[in-house]
Amino acid sequence: MATWQCVKNCGACCNLTPSDRPELEYYLTPPDLEKYLSMVGKDGWCINFNHETRECRIYDDRPLFCRVEEETFMDMFGIEPEELNDFAIDCCRQQIESNYGDRSLEMIRFNLAVGI
């Protein structure tokens, strides 16, 4: 069975382009939406994403909406804990494909890491 995990030096989820996520207002509270939008840079990427190292500059202090945790996904999307693994894998694969392509090194690395 595939098991979700974050793959270092990917950063696909750090592309925050609001037009790619039109449902933001449905799953973020008004203060979280304001925070989210304040983090979007001119190029659509999070202002805290280091493009050279492909790491988050505020990883330990990142907002809840940047975390893959049972409680966060239950609150935001209504995802039950037993559904989180498959949901997170699907989300990551969509983001990676959208940013880097379905045959990219990032996708290959992710698939290997999660066991697909």
Q: Given this model, what pLDDT does residue 22 score? A: 87
Q: Given this model, what pLDDT does residue 23 score? A: 92
**What are the residue ranges of helices labelled H in the chain?**
24-27, 30-38, 70-77, 81-100, 105-114
Q: Per residue of the chain (116 residues), what is the pLDDT tens digit?
A: 899 999 999 999 999 999 998 899 999 999 999 999 999 999 999 999 999 999 999 999 999 999 999 999 999 999 999 999 999 999 999 999 999 999 999 999 999 999 99
Q: Given this model, what pLDDT does residue 10 score? A: 94
Q: Given this model, what pLDDT does residue 92 score? A: 96
Sequence spans of domains, the chain: 12-114
